[in-house]
Structure 1
């Protein structure tokens, strides 16, 4: 390969010298598109990273504050008699029930740039998963889906540390020093990680099988018929259903199990019951010190499930709105550029 490249390179270089291409640089539309990319890039990163990964993780970890019975007290500060009625104090609204409240919480950690907290680590973790998948799958002829599972399991300490980074206040500790004990991470997260992987696989494989079964034809260049639109809706509905029933709960459970491995000297940004309603005892008592998948799922009340799903819906509409605005701006610029070019001609 190296020698053939050199052989072809010599005549190509000679041709470029004798007949250089006529290139005048980017057109006006090219500069506009470059400016659009620069302006909208932070918005795309916020929608693709912060809203899609950070917010749902905080929502999964957050536990509702319990109501408590207020003790009746006289004006002088002394307790009232026992026959006096007591009032039950209700907890406030969870932080992640509101996108604005969640945004205020994150921005309080470091301004607008705090929206990208943990992004570099997230990129490195996913890069490690991709590389590990290739290393496992290619030389050993392992199916890529199985290689992906093994890569997720192998990089569990890294993904757990990323979860700790995004659910806690900024720390001066390095990423490597925040990695929990590896043996505890594997014991705690292998089963939730497997279920999360299985749910994602199901959300892709089952809709694909349904598309083949009902004869959905969406080949490029062919005009879809009315029946194809109905079939596409059925496939999309199945995919969304699997996401709602399996993927989102699996992610919530995995995030909560990872949060249970948070060191005792670090506090989450949102209310979090480390005891999981008494299901998890301190490590000094049992030697375990982390939540199981069952404990993570069972300690999410109905109100929290509603909050988690509503957050996902809000994120979806915000993302669609952002891409719609970008599309409208881009279309307007293209039309204006075409009109100017037409007038010049």
Structure 2
């Protein structure tokens, strides 16, 4: 992504986002565009080989380059997935040397903590060790909420507040505009009418997302006018055969298994009365940001209070094991009021505001080198 579109601050240092996940969602694209308007040149790249991932960027750009890590998968996999402890320690040492050289030569390191730990991580202790290493060398650590700082400090066992930057996850109104014709087509395809009360589960199907507990809780909810719409693709290695069996037993369940095209995103959310994101492990959520973008009332676990939004005005929270009761309660809520609250909140969370905070962290790190 070119940084030739300079912002009002003049041309600043180059920022390299690692890794490139733009194929999966617009997060990095939108944030990069907003940082360009702050005066930074931004490149989005896949992780290079583990050794040299950081100081190699200084050879490509300059010693003052800013490397901004997002998801760590790809960078840390060779270490975390190593078959022996000796091999893990060797990879860990290489990363330590790489980071040391990078910082000694004037590089700046930032990290957006999207999750506490990789969701399919095979070795919790190893990944924690790698994450602590990154926190040690980072100039700034970006969180999407203040509560997530406390949660990360608890998990990692290190103090993070002095390095923390808090900038809430922005929404996606430009990426998923209303699409009434596609909504009508999806309504026909899924046999969902305006008279139905529809719960939506949206996003990749992964073990930690609590979909099995949602299906079970929905099954216990009597009423022929209820619908559970599940839309998303499973990650490799996750079977959805059990979902086909569940929908065969309960014809109120509607499945859209597979890649969700961009025109279908807004159409699916417009079919929903309520978004349900019952994640068993969470720190931030792009799906909740989509829910705010579309002004959708939500059912969320108590653990999701770590987002600091939408709060009780926009969501029905549930304690572990009590999802069915939350599905029942939310139907009696002021759903129009919840929609208005979440829509207003979604409009207030902009990429420009997010980029201003992060750019301020970049500049501060440059002054303090």
State if a TM-score over 0.5 links the two structures. Answer: no
TM-score (norm 2): 0.26
TM-score (norm 1): 0.27
Specify which structure has the higher proportion of strand: 2
Greater relative CO (CA pairs within 8 A, separation 6+): 1
